Amino acid sequence: MNVKHLQDEILKLKSQNDVIILAHYYQPIEIQEIADFLGDSLKLSRTAKEASTEYIIFAGVDFMAETASILNQDKHVLIPNPESCCPMAAFLTPEKVLEFKKNFPKTPTVVYVNSTATVKAESDICCTSANAVNIVKKISKEFEVNKVLFGPDANLGDYAEQFSKIKTIKMPPEGHCYVHSQISIEDIRATKNQYPNAKVLVHPECIREVREFADFVGSTSQMYNRIKNASSDEHEFIIGTEIGLLERMSQDFPDKKYYLAKEKLICYNMKKHNLELIKYLLENLDDKFHEVKVPSEIAKKAIQPIEKMLLYS
């Protein structure tokens, strides 16, 4: 079945069922095209919280579907490919968080949403790349301290520290995203030399040197909006994030030119979903193998830092 035909079948099945499809910007473009809502982690969490359908198909990595499940314990959250996970989350376990908390008493724990539900359950507040600076400022003020525990992304932690002026103790110092951290300063300089008039936009999961070289640092939605609101004399952009966002922007703003900061910026974990799997799910909404259900005792604890984040941002 060709892509267009599959997409039509999916749209038809979707209209016959009580379901919405949420997709992250890093999804394959043909999935982005059939989604009801597209966004960054923050927008998708908010949308999942407000969802009124019985079923939510989440085309993103596991922590995103888990967050949707935590916020909707009475709904069915389905993931097209249950093997789609974020390797960054593996840098932090609940045991490690408890050890850090023991070593740094009275210090608030900020956990990036790119983490497991059990890790979130041990935190004081969650954050996303869109609100990390603000969350660190607010939680440190609430606890009346000038430092926070922050994990698992040490680069986002460093970014939050730079702009909040609050020390972030990295849990652990080596936590990183394999997609963003591979962009080196040499890569970004070389791309800029090739396209000297292009504005450089990068994700806060990039290393500090790359972030400091960029004209703009932000979450995927913030980068999207930066381009949406670009002035008429800005025609070219170098994109320092996963290729899916570049494909989205090429479709939505085709009058601009986009260049990837380096070749092959692909999150293979995000690309594990496909249209066939989504069609299968729409035909088998009660398939338990694809359902993401966070055990209620963990969900009850993990919902608190997520809701606090949504309140604070």
Which residues of this protein are in contact with ligand 13P, per CB under 6 A? 40-41, 114, 128-130, 177, 205, 219-220
Q: Are 10 and 80 in contact (CB under 8 A)?
A: no
Q: Which is nearer to ligand SF4, 107 or 155 (CB)?
A: 155
Binding span for ligand SF4 by CB under 6 A among 80-88, 165-173, 213-221, 243-251: 80-88
Find which of ligand 13P, ligand SF4, none residue 260 binds, CB within 5 to 8 Å per kind: none
Contacts 24+ apart (CB under 8 A), 171-178: 171/92, 171/96, 171/97, 171/100, 171/109, 172/91, 172/92, 172/96, 174/91, 175/88, 175/91, 175/92, 175/151, 176/88, 176/91, 176/205, 177/86, 177/87, 177/88, 177/114, 177/153, 177/205, 178/87, 178/88
CB of 242 to ligand SF4, least distance (A): 5
Q: Are 108 and 160 in contact (CB under 8 A)?
A: no
Alpha helix segments (H runs only) across 109-196: 117-120, 132-143, 154-164, 185-194
Find which of ligand 13P, ligand SF4, none residue 87 binds, CB within 5 to 8 Å per kind: ligand SF4
State which of residues 87, 145, 162, 293 lies at the interface with ligand SF4 (CB under 6 A): 87
Binding span for ligand SF4 by CB under 6 A among 8-16, 82-90, 255-263, 284-292: 82-90
State which of residues 86, 117, 223, 281 lies at the interface with ligand SF4 (CB under 6 A): 86
Rounded distance between C-alpha atoms, residue 48 and residue 127, angstroms: 16
Per CB under 6 A, does 242 bind ligand SF4? yes
Task: Please state whether beta strands 125-127 and 236-240 pair in parallel, antiparallel, or not at all (unpaired).
Answer: unpaired
Per CB under 6 A, does 61 bind ligand SF4? yes
Sheet holding 55-59, edge to edge: 37-39, 19-24, 55-59, 76-78
Of 88, 32, 24, 71, the residue nearest 275 (C-alpha): 32
Cα distances (angstroms) measured from residue 14 to each of 19, 23, 34, 35? 6, 14, 10, 10
Q: Which is nearer to ligand 13P, 178 or 280 (CB)?
A: 178
State which of residues 7, 67, 114, 123 lies at the interface with ligand SF4 (CB under 6 A): 114
What b-and-e string marks burial along 88-126, b requiring 16 or more CB atoms within 10 Å of the CB? Answer: bbebbbbebbeebbeebeebbbbbbbbbbbbbbbbbbbb
Alpha helix segments (H runs only) across 230-274: 243-252
Q: Which is nearer to ligand SF4, 263 or 297 (CB)?
A: 263
Q: Which is nearer to ligand 13P, 138 or 176 (CB)?
A: 176
Find which of ligand 13P, ligand SF4, none residue 40 binds, CB within 5 to 8 Å per kind: ligand 13P
Find which of ligand SF4, ligand 13P, none residue 280 binds, CB within 5 to 8 Å per kind: none
Per CB under 6 A, does 182 bind ligand SF4? no
CB of 112 to ligand SF4, least distance (A): 9
Q: Which is nearer to ligand SF4, 10 or 65 (CB)?
A: 65
Binding mask 4-43 for ligand SF4 (x = CB under 6 A): ----------------------------------------
Using CB under 6 A as the binding rule, the residues of this chain from 265 to 284 that contact ligand SF4 are 267, 269-270
The residues of the shown chain that bind ligand SF4, judged by CB under 6 A, are 61, 86-88, 114, 177-179, 205, 242, 267, 269-270
